[in-house]
Amino acid sequence: MSSSATELQKYLGYWDKYKLVWNQDKQAFIRRYAKANRPLQQFRADIERYREQQVSIQNEDLTNTINFIQIDTNFLKASLVEHTVQWIGKLTGLLNQTAHDELKELMNMMKDNTQKLQIKPLNLDHLSESIHLLQDIKEGIPGVVARFEPLQHKYELLAEFDVQTTDEEQRDLTNLKSNWETYEVMLVDANTMLQKCKVSMKQSLQDSVADLNNIMSDLRNEAEATLPYSGEQQSKVAHQILAEFEKKMEATRSRQNALKKGLEIFGIEESKNDGFVQTEKELELLQQIWALTDEWEVVWASWKNKVFYEIEVETMESTAAQFFKK
């Protein structure tokens, strides 16, 4: 009995060579496998390894006799074979999902970009977006084309391992090359259309820039005629004039900023309007001067109503010096 028990223990150790088949967490392994982005050759090697193990298990003896004990390994073999089937299924399933996702990504990329580039831009923002999109697509073409052959190899390997793919996948895979050729023609047409839009919008932009310069010149003339450069006006009226003029300047700056993107698109250097720049500086100074005037009036009002002997000369001198610095 003791001898038989020892031999049985040795026999159990014989099956340890298949331990990784049943003792490894399949889900955790596949998650790590997917994250590592294994090459196709690794998929082939691992799938074939499990197929070889499957054959090896099936070739193991169904029964084995140790002294007076007969061992039936039928259920053990069936269980191990089922584990290899699951491993193969997990790996081919991951490969299929990877291939499916990549194929779908390529098809959606062509579809989405086609929809975007076939829309004629109606403003500079849209034109800029379309031009940048087309440029990015052109730069990425070699990388996209380089994905076609490896993707085809993935589906060939799936077919080799008798993995059934959907009709939609087969249709997309078959049409991938022809769809790409149509896509390339679309890119040429889109480029032609965008160039025409660019010419048209460039002229419109130049007209807008000319209009803006006229507006800036008019504002300069208006500033010279209406801004409170002298102290003859009342403070309240002066502040009202400055506030209203500031609104006009802000509206002009907004219009100027709106044209900047267009100037960048067409490589046109923005020219400064000297009169507008001068008006901005003068407006800022006038706002400071009239604010300072208000402060002085408040201080002066507190002094002029005091009894003469209550006036603090040092305070007056200090305050006057501060105003002088400003």
What are 103-129's pLDDT values in tens digits? 999 999 999 999 999 999 998 889 989
In a domain, 122, yes or no: yes
Same domain, 108 and 149: yes
Number of neighbouring beta carbons within 10 Å of residue 43:
20
Q: Is the pLDDT of residue 259 over 80?
A: yes
Same domain, 52 and 169: yes
- Asked if 127 contacts 194 with a C-beta cutoff of 8 angstroms, the reply is yes
The range of the structural domain enclosing residue 289 comes to 227-325
Q: What is the pLDDT of residue 96?
A: 96
Tell me which residue of 136, 84, 107 sits closest to 99, measured CA to CA: 107
Q: Is the pLDDT of residue 255 over 70?
A: yes
Q: Is the pLDDT of residue 186 over 90?
A: yes
In a domain, 319, yes or no: yes
The mean per-residue pLDDT over the stretch 82-100 comes to 95
The three-state secondary structure class of 66 is strand
Same domain, 168 and 316: no
Q: What is the pLDDT of residue 321?
A: 54
- Asked if 217 contacts 275 with a C-beta cutoff of 8 angstroms, the reply is yes
- What is the C-alpha to C-alpha distance for residues 194 and 188, in angstroms, rounded to an integer? 10
Tell me which residue of 227, 217, 226, 205 sits closest to 272, measured CA to CA: 217
Tell me which residue of 136, 121, 128, 117 sits closest to 260, measured CA to CA: 128
Number of separate domains in the chain: 2
Same domain, 189 and 236: no
Same domain, 31 and 174: yes
In a domain, 208, yes or no: no
Q: What is the pLDDT of residue 131?
A: 93
Lowest mean pLDDT among 4-18, 63-77, 300-314: 300-314
In a domain, 313, yes or no: yes
In a domain, 256, yes or no: yes
In a domain, 160, yes or no: yes
Tokens 């440029």 sit on residue: 135
The three-state secondary structure class of 268 is coil
In a domain, 307, yes or no: yes
- Asked if 282 contacts 227 with a C-beta cutoff of 8 angstroms, the reply is yes
How far the first Cα of the chain sits from its last, in Å, is: 111
Angle between helices 26-36 and 74-117 (to 10 degrees): 40
